[in-house]
Amino acid sequence: MSTTPTANVTAAQVKELRDKTGAPMGDCKQALVASNGDLEKSIDWLRKKGVATAAKKAARVTSEGSVSSYIHAGGKIGVLVEVNCESDFVARTDDFKDLVKDIAMHIAASDPKFIRKEDVTPEAFEREKEIYRAQAAQTGKPANVIEKIVEGKMGKFYEEVCLYEQPFIKDQTISVAQLIAAKIGKLGENISVRRFARFKVGDATWTIAQSNPKQEPKAE
C-alpha cells in the first residue's frame, strides 16, 4: 500500500514555513507537499500562488484601507502613504497594518517617484528613453541592437523609480509588488497603494505620487 505525499510533511515543517512567510497553514502544507518538503521551493510556490491570486483580485474595488506615516533618520525624512483594501475588517488586521508600515518605511529608504509602471508620465518616459538611446548610439552598434539596449535600460529605470518594481528593502529577493501579492493571497482581498508623499529636510523638491485613476477598478 503506497503512502500519500502528505506523510512526508511534518507539523514542524509547516510551522517553519508559516513563520517564514506568514501564509495560512493550509497553504503552507499544500506548498510543502507540492515541493516534496523543500523549504525554498515551497516559498517560491507560495509566492507564485500569491501573484496568481493577486491577478484574479486586481479588478476588485479597494475603497477601504489605512493611512500611515513613517519618520526616519532623526526626523530628516518623512513619508505619508495611503494603502487600500476592500473591507474595514481587513484594514484593521495586524497583517494589513504591518504591510502599510513596511511600505511607508520602504518609500522612506528607496525614494520611488511613481507607484506603478503605468503611472510614469509620458514626459518622464520619453526623457529617459532619449537619454538611453543617445548613450547607446555612441557605441556605434546597429539600430536594432541599440533598441534592445534601450529596452533593457528602461526595465532598470522602472525598477529604480516605480514603487511596485523596486526590490523590497527588508527582503531584496522580492519586489514590493510581490510583497503586496503575498498579502493579497493571505488576506483574500485586493490591496493597492493609492498615493504617497515623501519629504526630506533640506531638499528643495519633494515626491508626491498617486496611482493612475485609469488603472483603478470602478465600483458598479
Domain count for the chain, please give it.
Answer: 3
| Adjacent-strand bridge partners of 162 | 114
Angular region, 70: left φ>0, alpha ψ -120 to 50, beta rest:
beta
Q: Give the tens place of pLDDT for each residue, 121-166.
A: 888 888 887 887 787 777 777 777 777 887 777 778 888 999 999 9
What is the extent of the structural domain holding 31? Answer: 1-57
Q: Are residues 28 and 130 in the same domain?
A: no
| Adjacent-strand bridge partners of 72 | 77
Q: Are residues 111 and 203 in the same domain?
A: yes
Return the top range by mean pLDDT from 30-44, 97-111, 136-150: 97-111
Last residue of a domain, one of 135, 158, 181: 158
Q: Give the tens place of pLDDT for each residue, 54-92.
A: 556 556 656 789 999 999 878 999 999 999 999 999 999
pLDDT band at 212 (very low <50, low <70, confident <90, very high): confident
Nine-digit cell at 6? Answer: 502528505
- Can you tell me the distance from the alpha carbon of 200 to that of 108, in angstroms, rounded to the nearest whole number? 9
Q: Are residues 67 and 125 in the same domain?
A: no
Q: Are residues 25 and 82 in the same domain?
A: no
Q: Are residues 107 and 169 in the same domain?
A: yes
